[in-house]
Amino acid sequence: MWDHPSRHAANAFEAYLQARWDEGCRNATQLYREVCDRGYHGEARGFRRWIKIRLRDGQLPAAAPSVTLPRWKPPSSRQTTRLLSAPRETLREHDIRFVDAIRAASPTIAEAADLARRFHEILVGRVSTDLDPWLAMTLGSALGSFARGLVRDIDAVRAALMLPWSTGPVEGKINKLKLIKRSMYGRAGIDLLRARVMA
């Protein structure tokens, strides 16, 4: 029976059938005729099932070439922004290739990244004399809306660059006040707010 290939009559012709299969003959009926001419006496249906089990299903597909998938995962938009504005010497090799590809694909992004990095240098170095030239370059760029916002509040921006004072120490208090106010919105008056802030 075909269910027991080890005892199937076609086993006696396996070498011949394998050779014909390897030559490209995949027609079970043609192979059946050929083995009948060589002395096979089994049924055609059982022979076709034997061909299916031993040759067609038994053929392993050619091994796909091994591909080493990259471990690098494309960064998110926020991570991409950080990479574009970070100093090149602080980036890893695959990040540098990614940044170079983006800059080559979009000169607008490259220009915006350069302007953002320059603005960061102005802030960190507190170089107030470079602010006006930077604004002049930036107003016509992709960062134009940001630059226009700075121009509207230019006195505060200059003061931040030139004066030693900062609102940093009180930011925590401001955040606490906003949190208390929002948690009580519509449910309490100024007296309770004052009591909670002063507590």
Tens place of pLDDT for every residue, the chain, 199 residues?
Answer: 344 445 678 888 888 888 888 888 888 888 888 888 888 888 888 888 888 887 776 643 444 455 555 566 778 889 988 899 888 888 888 889 899 999 999 999 999 999 999 999 998 888 889 999 999 999 999 999 999 999 999 998 998 888 888 777 788 888 888 888 888 777 777 787 778 777 7
Residue 70 lies in a domain: no
Sign of the CA dihedral with 16 first, then 17, 22, and 25 last: positive
Same domain, 157 and 182: no
Kindly state the tokens that stand for 48. 């076709």
Residue 68 lies in a domain: no
What is the torsion angle, in degrees rounded to the nearest 10, for the CA atoms of residue 169, residue 175, residue 178 and residue 180?
Answer: -100
Which regions of the chain does DSSP assign to beta strands (E)? none
Distance CA 80, CA 42 (A): 69
pTM of the model: 0.50
Residue 64 lies in a domain: no
Structural domain count, the chain: 3
Same domain, 156 and 182: no
Domain hosting 137: range is 77-162
Distance CA 9, CA 4 (A): 10
DSSP state of 71: S
Residue 158 lies in a domain: yes
Yes or no: say if 128 and 161 are a contact pair by the CB < 8 Å rule.
yes
Same domain, 156 and 91: yes
Same domain, 125 and 149: yes
Position 6 scores a pLDDT of 53
